[in-house]
Structure 1
């Protein structure tokens, strides 16, 4: 079965965005090989705000060829947008209710894994609903002091098992975890 993978950047002090939504602190360097990750997915899950900001983002003429190719790879994927707004789009399917069952249906379909892109509200919903199969968290060597935290208002503790660690030239460290299934009595 396909897996839902949360793959995102986080600051050393636990924020996924700065206080004004900024992500200018994110580092992308060659040895991160983000293209390899993009090749393992064929579907992206967005919240509406993230989709409106990034779902159809087009880099400007000063963008490096590598980044242009990255965006082309991202835009070639099937897109689902989780939103209370029921919009129609040729580029994405909007899901307005019954998130857990819709995600289960999509995971059963043939295909590659699924990237949970975000934003923060959708990620929190997925965390609290137990819908994430793999957490790929890249810790960037910067502390912001404030912003949007990744883990906030959890319904219950999440126990994760480390399955891989990657250290990059830039100082970014990527931890890959899978949730541990707790024995309930």
Structure 2
């Protein structure tokens, strides 16, 4: 069965973006092998706001080849957008109800794993409904002091087991956890 994987950057103080939505603190380096992660997934789960911001992001023509390849791969994946708004976009499936059942059905379909992209509200909903199979958190060596926290308003504690750790030259530490059920 396919797994839902939350893979995202987080600051030392637990924020996934600054108070104005900024992510300019996020370090991407080839050593992290993000392309390797992208090769392991073929589907992306977005919240509506994240999809509106990044779902059709156009990479600058002057961007390096690695970034161009990354975005081409991302845009080639099947996209599900979880939203109360019912819209229609080519290549996108909108889900507005029965989220737990819909996710279970998608996980049963053939294919690679699924990337839970975000945003924060969708991530919180997936945590609350125990829909995340693996957490890959890249902790960046910066503290913002304020912003959008990763774990906001948890209804109960979340117990995780450390599965892997990778340390990069930039100071980023990638922590891979699986839920203890």
TM, length-normalised to structure 2: 0.99
For 1:1-185, list aligned pairs within 5 A.
Answer: 1-181=1-181
Give how far 1:56 is off: 0.7
CA distance in 1, matches of 2:76, 2:89: 15
Cα deviation code 1:70-119 (max 9, x no counterpart): 00011111000000000011121000111000000000001100000001
SS, match of residue 61 in structure 2:
coil
Gaps of 5+ in 2: none
CA distance in 2, matches of 1:32, 1:16: 18
CA distance in 1, matches of 2:130, 2:68: 34
Give how far 1:120 is off: 0.7
CA distance in 2, matches of 1:51, 1:24: 18
Give how far 1:62 is off: 2.0
Aligned-pair RMSD on alpha carbons? 0.6
SS, match of residue 42 in structure 1:
strand
CA distance in 2, matches of 1:152, 1:52: 22
Q: Give structure 1 regions of 4+ aligned residues with deviation exceeding 2 angstroms.
A: none
TM, length-normalised to structure 1: 0.97
SS, match of residue 71 in structure 2:
helix
CA distance in 1, matches of 2:91, 2:20: 28
Aligned length: 181
CA distance in 2, matches of 1:98, 1:134: 22
CA distance in 1, matches of 2:70, 2:105: 28
Give how far 1:160 is off: 0.1
CA distance in 1, matches of 2:91, 2:110: 20
